[in-house]
Protein backbone atom coordinates (compact mmCIF):
# COMPACT_ATOMS: atom_id res chain seq x y z
CA UNK A 1 0.00 0.00 0.00
CA UNK A 2 1.21 3.48 -0.89
CA UNK A 3 -0.54 6.43 0.68
CA UNK A 4 0.03 10.01 -0.42
CA UNK A 5 -1.58 12.74 1.68
CA UNK A 6 -1.72 16.32 0.44
CA UNK A 7 1.86 16.30 -0.87
CA UNK A 8 3.15 19.69 -1.96
CA UNK A 9 6.58 20.67 -3.27
CA UNK A 10 7.60 24.21 -4.05
CA UNK A 11 10.90 25.29 -5.60
CA UNK A 12 11.22 29.08 -5.30
CA UNK A 13 8.71 30.34 -7.89
CA UNK A 14 7.76 26.85 -9.17
CA UNK A 15 5.11 24.73 -7.50
CA UNK A 16 6.06 21.30 -8.81
CA UNK A 17 3.40 19.38 -6.82
CA UNK A 18 0.32 20.92 -5.19
CA UNK A 19 -1.85 19.15 -2.64
CA UNK A 20 -1.64 15.72 -4.24
CA UNK A 21 -3.39 12.80 -2.50
CA UNK A 22 -3.96 9.22 -3.69
CA UNK A 23 -3.63 5.61 -2.59
CA UNK A 24 -2.28 2.52 -4.29
CA UNK A 25 -3.80 -0.69 -2.94
CA UNK A 26 -2.19 -4.16 -2.86
CA UNK A 27 -3.14 -6.26 -5.88
CA UNK A 28 -3.37 -3.25 -8.18
CA UNK A 29 -1.30 -1.41 -10.75
CA UNK A 30 -1.78 2.37 -10.58
CA UNK A 31 -0.86 4.30 -13.71
CA UNK A 32 0.49 7.73 -12.81
CA UNK A 33 -0.06 9.89 -15.85
CA UNK A 34 0.60 13.44 -16.87
CA UNK A 35 2.36 15.57 -19.46
CA UNK A 36 6.02 16.59 -19.23
CA UNK A 37 6.70 18.61 -16.12
CA UNK A 38 3.39 17.61 -14.51
CA UNK A 39 5.06 16.62 -11.24
CA UNK A 40 5.16 12.80 -11.54
CA UNK A 41 8.87 12.36 -10.80
CA UNK A 42 8.80 14.89 -7.97
CA UNK A 43 5.87 13.04 -6.36
CA UNK A 44 7.65 9.71 -6.69
CA UNK A 45 10.86 11.14 -5.28
CA UNK A 46 8.93 12.43 -2.29
CA UNK A 47 7.31 9.01 -1.77
CA UNK A 48 10.81 7.47 -1.78
CA UNK A 49 12.22 10.01 0.67
CA UNK A 50 14.63 11.52 -1.88
CA UNK A 51 12.98 14.95 -2.03
CA UNK A 52 11.62 16.47 1.18
CA UNK A 53 8.05 17.71 0.72
CA UNK A 54 7.18 21.34 1.46
CA UNK A 55 4.08 19.95 3.14
CA UNK A 56 2.06 16.76 3.24
CA UNK A 57 3.29 13.21 3.70
CA UNK A 58 3.65 9.84 2.04
CA UNK A 59 3.87 6.34 3.46
CA UNK A 60 4.71 2.99 1.97
CA UNK A 61 3.30 -0.04 3.81
CA UNK A 62 2.16 2.36 6.52
CA UNK A 63 5.47 4.09 7.26
CA UNK A 64 7.54 6.87 5.65
CA UNK A 65 9.99 5.30 3.18
CA UNK A 66 13.01 6.53 5.11
CA UNK A 67 11.88 4.63 8.20
CA UNK A 68 11.68 1.27 6.40
CA UNK A 69 14.54 -1.00 7.45
CA UNK A 70 16.41 -2.44 4.42
CA UNK A 71 13.85 -0.80 2.09
CA UNK A 72 14.91 -2.75 -1.00
CA UNK A 73 13.42 -5.88 0.60
CA UNK A 74 10.02 -4.19 0.72
CA UNK A 75 9.97 -1.59 -2.05
CA UNK A 76 11.51 -1.91 -5.50
CA UNK A 77 12.32 1.51 -6.92
CA UNK A 78 13.33 2.59 -10.41
CA UNK A 79 13.47 6.36 -10.71
CA UNK A 80 16.32 6.91 -13.16
CA UNK A 81 17.65 4.12 -15.33
CA UNK A 82 20.68 6.23 -16.24
CA UNK A 83 21.82 6.40 -12.61
CA UNK A 84 23.99 3.26 -12.79
CA UNK A 85 27.76 2.93 -12.53
CA UNK A 86 28.87 2.70 -16.16
CA UNK A 87 32.07 0.78 -15.35
CA UNK A 88 30.35 -2.26 -13.82
CA UNK A 89 28.73 -5.04 -15.79
CA UNK A 90 25.01 -5.62 -15.45
CA UNK A 91 25.62 -8.79 -13.44
CA UNK A 92 28.11 -7.04 -11.12
CA UNK A 93 25.58 -4.25 -10.55
CA UNK A 94 22.96 -6.76 -9.47
CA UNK A 95 25.39 -8.90 -7.44
CA UNK A 96 26.43 -5.83 -5.47
CA UNK A 97 22.80 -4.90 -4.83
CA UNK A 98 22.08 -8.50 -3.78
CA UNK A 99 24.89 -8.29 -1.20
CA UNK A 100 23.61 -4.97 0.14
CA UNK A 101 20.07 -6.30 0.39
CA UNK A 102 21.21 -9.62 1.83
CA UNK A 103 19.58 -11.78 -0.82
CA UNK A 104 20.99 -15.00 -2.30
CA UNK A 105 23.33 -14.52 -5.28
CA UNK A 106 21.21 -17.02 -7.23
CA UNK A 107 18.47 -14.42 -7.33
CA UNK A 108 20.61 -12.36 -9.78
CA UNK A 109 20.20 -14.93 -12.56
CA UNK A 110 16.47 -15.16 -11.85
CA UNK A 111 15.80 -11.45 -12.23
CA UNK A 112 18.03 -11.22 -15.31
CA UNK A 113 15.86 -13.92 -16.89
CA UNK A 114 12.69 -12.16 -15.80
CA UNK A 115 13.60 -8.91 -17.54
CA UNK A 116 15.04 -10.62 -20.60
CA UNK A 117 18.69 -9.60 -20.22
CA UNK A 118 20.67 -12.54 -21.67
CA UNK A 119 23.95 -13.70 -20.03
CA UNK A 120 26.05 -12.13 -22.80
CA UNK A 121 24.45 -8.70 -22.17
CA UNK A 122 24.79 -9.14 -18.39
CA UNK A 123 28.59 -9.58 -18.86
CA UNK A 124 28.88 -6.22 -20.65
CA UNK A 125 29.63 -2.93 -18.92
CA UNK A 126 26.55 -0.81 -18.22
CA UNK A 127 28.25 2.22 -19.81
CA UNK A 128 27.74 0.54 -23.19
CA UNK A 129 24.07 -0.33 -22.58
CA UNK A 130 21.23 1.13 -24.64
CA UNK A 131 18.45 2.97 -22.77
CA UNK A 132 16.18 -0.07 -23.07
CA UNK A 133 18.88 -2.36 -21.60
CA UNK A 134 19.37 0.08 -18.72
CA UNK A 135 15.64 0.05 -18.08
CA UNK A 136 15.64 -3.75 -18.00
CA UNK A 137 18.57 -3.70 -15.60
CA UNK A 138 16.79 -1.11 -13.43
CA UNK A 139 13.64 -3.23 -13.29
CA UNK A 140 15.75 -6.29 -12.44
CA UNK A 141 17.38 -4.32 -9.62
CA UNK A 142 13.98 -3.20 -8.32
CA UNK A 143 12.80 -6.83 -8.25
CA UNK A 144 15.94 -8.25 -6.64
CA UNK A 145 14.86 -7.88 -3.01
CA UNK A 146 11.55 -9.64 -3.67
CA UNK A 147 9.59 -6.51 -2.68
CA UNK A 148 5.81 -6.26 -2.31
CA UNK A 149 5.68 -2.68 -3.64
CA UNK A 150 7.12 -1.36 -6.90
CA UNK A 151 7.60 2.34 -7.71
CA UNK A 152 8.70 2.81 -11.30
CA UNK A 153 9.21 6.13 -13.07
CA UNK A 154 8.80 5.82 -16.83
CA UNK A 155 10.05 2.19 -16.94
CA UNK A 156 8.85 1.70 -20.52
CA UNK A 157 10.99 4.58 -21.77
CA UNK A 158 13.34 3.20 -24.43
CA UNK A 159 11.98 -0.35 -24.30
CA UNK A 160 11.33 -2.13 -27.59
CA UNK A 161 7.85 -3.63 -28.20
CA UNK A 162 8.95 -7.01 -26.83
CA UNK A 163 10.34 -5.27 -23.73
CA UNK A 164 7.12 -3.33 -23.21
CA UNK A 165 5.08 -6.53 -23.48
CA UNK A 166 7.43 -8.27 -21.05
CA UNK A 167 7.17 -5.41 -18.57
CA UNK A 168 3.38 -5.37 -18.73
CA UNK A 169 3.19 -9.13 -18.12
CA UNK A 170 5.68 -8.87 -15.29
CA UNK A 171 3.84 -6.02 -13.55
CA UNK A 172 0.44 -7.64 -14.02
CA UNK A 173 1.73 -10.91 -12.49
CA UNK A 174 3.33 -8.96 -9.66
CA UNK A 175 0.03 -7.22 -8.81
CA UNK A 176 -2.01 -10.41 -9.28
CA UNK A 177 0.17 -12.03 -6.61
CA UNK A 178 -0.84 -9.21 -4.21
CA UNK A 179 1.85 -6.65 -5.00
CA UNK A 180 1.31 -2.89 -5.22
CA UNK A 181 2.58 -1.08 -8.31
CA UNK A 182 2.87 2.65 -8.98
CA UNK A 183 3.93 3.23 -12.55
CA UNK A 184 4.43 6.64 -14.13
CA UNK A 185 4.23 7.47 -17.78
CA UNK A 186 3.40 10.41 -19.99
CA UNK A 187 1.96 8.00 -22.55
CA UNK A 188 -1.48 6.77 -21.72
CA UNK A 189 -1.62 3.77 -24.04
CA UNK A 190 1.57 2.42 -22.51
CA UNK A 191 -0.10 1.87 -19.14
CA UNK A 192 -3.70 1.47 -20.23
CA UNK A 193 -3.10 -2.22 -20.95
CA UNK A 194 -1.78 -2.98 -17.48
CA UNK A 195 -3.19 -0.47 -14.97
CA UNK A 196 -6.30 -0.98 -12.83
CA UNK A 197 -6.46 2.61 -11.72
CA UNK A 198 -5.17 5.90 -13.02
CA UNK A 199 -4.02 9.04 -11.29
CA UNK A 200 -3.82 11.91 -13.77
CA UNK A 201 -1.71 14.89 -12.75
CA UNK A 202 -1.33 18.18 -14.62
CA UNK A 203 0.44 21.33 -13.54
CA UNK A 204 1.28 19.66 -10.22
CA UNK A 205 -2.36 19.00 -9.33
CA UNK A 206 -4.54 15.93 -9.53
CA UNK A 207 -6.69 16.33 -12.63
CA UNK A 208 -8.59 13.07 -12.14
CA UNK A 209 -8.24 9.65 -10.55
CA UNK A 210 -10.14 6.40 -10.65
CA UNK A 211 -10.66 3.30 -12.75
CA UNK A 212 -10.99 3.62 -16.50
CA UNK A 213 -14.79 3.46 -16.37
CA UNK A 214 -14.98 5.91 -13.46
CA UNK A 215 -12.81 8.38 -15.33
CA UNK A 216 -14.84 8.09 -18.49
CA UNK A 217 -18.18 8.38 -16.78
CA UNK A 218 -17.43 11.15 -14.33
CA UNK A 219 -16.48 14.16 -16.44
CA UNK A 220 -18.23 13.05 -19.62
CA UNK A 221 -21.65 12.36 -18.15
CA UNK A 222 -24.33 10.81 -20.34
CA UNK A 223 -25.72 12.00 -23.63
CA UNK A 224 -29.50 11.91 -24.01
CA UNK A 225 -31.77 12.74 -26.94
CA UNK A 226 -35.55 12.90 -26.77
CA UNK A 227 -38.48 13.08 -29.18
CA UNK A 228 -39.49 16.38 -27.56
CA UNK A 229 -36.31 18.25 -26.53
CA UNK A 230 -38.14 20.94 -24.58
CA UNK A 231 -40.13 18.39 -22.57
CA UNK A 232 -36.96 16.37 -21.93
CA UNK A 233 -35.07 19.46 -20.78
CA UNK A 234 -37.90 20.35 -18.39
CA UNK A 235 -37.96 16.77 -17.04
CA UNK A 236 -34.20 16.71 -16.43
CA UNK A 237 -34.02 20.08 -14.70
CA UNK A 238 -37.13 19.25 -12.63
CA UNK A 239 -35.21 16.17 -11.40
CA UNK A 240 -32.39 18.50 -10.26
CA UNK A 241 -29.86 17.20 -12.82
CA UNK A 242 -27.08 19.36 -14.31
CA UNK A 243 -27.99 19.65 -18.01
CA UNK A 244 -25.91 21.05 -20.87
CA UNK A 245 -27.82 21.51 -24.16
CA UNK A 246 -25.86 20.50 -27.29
CA UNK A 247 -26.22 22.20 -30.69
CA UNK A 248 -27.96 19.15 -32.21
CA UNK A 249 -30.82 19.16 -29.67
CA UNK A 250 -29.35 16.47 -27.40
CA UNK A 251 -28.25 17.06 -23.79
CA UNK A 252 -25.17 16.11 -21.82
CA UNK A 253 -26.15 15.36 -18.23
CA UNK A 254 -23.81 14.91 -15.27
CA UNK A 255 -25.65 11.90 -13.87
CA UNK A 256 -25.98 8.16 -14.37
CA UNK A 257 -27.96 6.78 -17.32
CA UNK A 258 -30.41 5.37 -14.78
CA UNK A 259 -31.09 8.79 -13.21
CA UNK A 260 -31.67 10.32 -16.66
CA UNK A 261 -33.91 7.44 -17.74
CA UNK A 262 -35.97 7.70 -14.54
CA UNK A 263 -36.38 11.48 -14.91
CA UNK A 264 -37.64 11.02 -18.49
CA UNK A 265 -39.94 8.15 -17.49
CA UNK A 266 -41.41 10.19 -14.62
CA UNK A 267 -42.28 12.97 -17.09
CA UNK A 268 -43.55 10.47 -19.66
CA UNK A 269 -41.27 11.82 -22.39
CA UNK A 270 -39.85 9.48 -25.05
CA UNK A 271 -36.08 8.92 -25.32
CA UNK A 272 -34.40 8.29 -28.67
CA UNK A 273 -30.84 7.89 -27.39
CA UNK A 274 -29.16 7.43 -24.00
CA UNK A 275 -25.42 6.63 -23.75
CA UNK A 276 -22.15 7.67 -22.14
CA UNK A 277 -21.05 11.03 -23.52
CA UNK A 278 -17.52 9.64 -24.08
CA UNK A 279 -17.38 6.25 -25.75
CA UNK A 280 -14.76 3.63 -26.69
CA UNK A 281 -11.21 4.94 -26.95
CA UNK A 282 -12.24 7.98 -24.94
CA UNK A 283 -9.54 7.58 -22.30
CA UNK A 284 -6.87 9.16 -24.43
CA UNK A 285 -9.24 11.96 -25.38
CA UNK A 286 -10.14 12.47 -21.75
CA UNK A 287 -6.46 12.54 -20.79
CA UNK A 288 -5.76 15.19 -23.41
CA UNK A 289 -8.70 17.32 -22.30
CA UNK A 290 -7.68 17.00 -18.63
CA UNK A 291 -4.07 17.88 -19.22
CA UNK A 292 -4.43 20.31 -22.12
CA UNK A 293 -2.47 23.49 -21.57
CA UNK A 294 -0.88 22.17 -18.39
CA UNK A 295 2.37 20.88 -19.96
CA UNK A 296 5.53 22.58 -18.82
N1 LIG B 1 15.13 20.37 -8.36
C2 LIG B 1 14.25 21.19 -8.97
N3 LIG B 1 14.38 22.53 -8.91
C4 LIG B 1 13.48 23.34 -9.51
N5 LIG B 1 12.41 22.90 -10.20
C6 LIG B 1 12.23 21.58 -10.28
C7 LIG B 1 13.13 20.64 -9.68
N8 LIG B 1 12.67 19.37 -9.94
C9 LIG B 1 11.55 19.52 -10.67
N10 LIG B 1 11.28 20.83 -10.88
C11 LIG B 1 10.13 21.37 -11.64
O12 LIG B 1 8.97 20.78 -11.13
C13 LIG B 1 8.04 20.53 -12.18
C14 LIG B 1 7.65 19.06 -12.17
O15 LIG B 1 8.76 18.29 -12.63
P16 LIG B 1 8.74 16.69 -12.65
O17 LIG B 1 10.11 16.24 -13.07
O18 LIG B 1 8.23 16.19 -11.37
O19 LIG B 1 7.66 16.39 -13.81
P20 LIG B 1 7.33 15.02 -14.55
O21 LIG B 1 5.84 14.91 -14.54
O22 LIG B 1 8.09 13.89 -13.96
O23 LIG B 1 7.81 15.34 -16.03
P24 LIG B 1 8.39 14.38 -17.21
O25 LIG B 1 7.21 13.62 -17.77
O26 LIG B 1 8.91 15.38 -18.20
O27 LIG B 1 9.45 13.51 -16.63
C28 LIG B 1 8.70 21.02 -13.45
O29 LIG B 1 8.27 22.33 -13.70
C30 LIG B 1 10.17 21.00 -13.10
O31 LIG B 1 10.88 21.95 -13.86
Q: Closest ligand 1 atom to the C-alpha of 41?
A: 22
Separation of alpha carbons 94 and 61, rounded Å: 25
Structure confidence by residue, pLDDT tens digits, 105-120: 999 999 999 999 999 9
Q: Ligand 1: which of 39, 151, 204 to mutate, most ligand atoms within 8 Å of CB?
A: 39
Asked whether residue 187 carries a pLDDT value surpassing 80, the answer given is no
Residue 40, ligand 1, Cβ within 6 A: yes
Stretch 230-247: mean pLDDT: 88
Query: What's the confidence (pLDDT) of residue 185?
Result: 85
Nearest-10 crossing angle of helices 229-238, 257-267? 110
Residue 39, ligand 1, Cβ within 6 A: yes
Separation of alpha carbons 112 and 220, rounded Å: 44
* Ligand 1 atom 28 nearest Cα: 37
Strands 2-11 and 180-185, by their bridges, are: unpaired
Q: What is the ipTM of this complex?
A: 0.97
Q: Closest ligand 1 atom to the C-alpha of 34?
A: 21
Structure confidence by residue, pLDDT tens digits, 191-223: 888 999 999 898 899 988 888 777 765 556 789
Q: Which helix (H) or strand (E) is 208 found in, with range?
A: strand 205-211
Separation of alpha carbons 198 and 207, rounded Å: 11
* Ligand 1 atom 7 nearest Cα: 11
Asked whether residue 296 carries a pLDDT value surpassing 50, the answer given is no
Say how many Å lie between the CA of residue 32 and the centre of ligand 1: 15
Query: What's the confidence (pLDDT) of residue 21?
Result: 96
Residue 11, ligand 1, Cβ within 6 A: yes
Q: Is 246 left (phi over 0), alpha (psi -120 to 50) or beta?
A: beta
Residue 36, ligand 1, Cβ within 6 A: yes
Q: Which helix (H) or strand (E) is 162 found in, with range?
A: helix 161-176
Residue 60 confidence class, pLDDT cut points 50, 70, 90: very high
Separation of alpha carbons 7 and 58, rounded Å: 7
Residue 203, ligand 1, Cβ within 6 A: no
Q: Closest ligand 1 atom to the C-alpha of 45?
A: 18
Separation of alpha carbons 94 and 177, rounded Å: 24
Q: Ligand 1: which of 7, 16, 206 to mutate, most ligand atoms within 8 Å of CB?
A: 16
Say how many Å lie between the CA of residue 45 and the centre of ligand 1: 11
Asked if residue 85 lies in contact with residue 131, where contact means CB atoms within 8 angstroms, the answer is no
Instruction: Compute how many other C-beta atoms are within 10 angstroms of the C-beta atom of residue 237.
Output: 14
pTM of the shown model: 0.80
Over the chain, what is the mean pLDDT? Answer: 90
Instruction: Compute how many other C-beta atoms are within 10 angstroms of the C-beta atom of residue 38.
Output: 26
Stretch 37-61: mean pLDDT: 96
Query: What's the confidence (pLDDT) of residue 247?
Result: 79
Say how many Å lie between the CA of residue 9 and the centre of ligand 1: 10
Q: Is 193 left (phi over 0), alpha (psi -120 to 50) or beta?
A: alpha
Residue 186, ligand 1, Cβ within 6 A: yes
- Per DSSP, the three-state class of 146 is coil
* Ligand 1 atom 4 nearest Cα: 11
Q: How far is CA 5 from CA 43, 227, 272, 273, in A?
A: 11, 48, 45, 42
Amino acid sequence: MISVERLTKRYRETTAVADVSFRCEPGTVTGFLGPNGAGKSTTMRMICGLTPPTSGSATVKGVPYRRIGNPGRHVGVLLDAAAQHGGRTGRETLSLTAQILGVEGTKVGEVLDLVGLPPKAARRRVGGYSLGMRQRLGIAQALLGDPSVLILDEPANGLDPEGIFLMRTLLRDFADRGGTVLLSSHLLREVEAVADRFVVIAGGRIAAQGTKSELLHAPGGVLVRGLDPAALHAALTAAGLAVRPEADGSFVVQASAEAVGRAAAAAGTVLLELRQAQDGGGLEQLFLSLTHGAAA
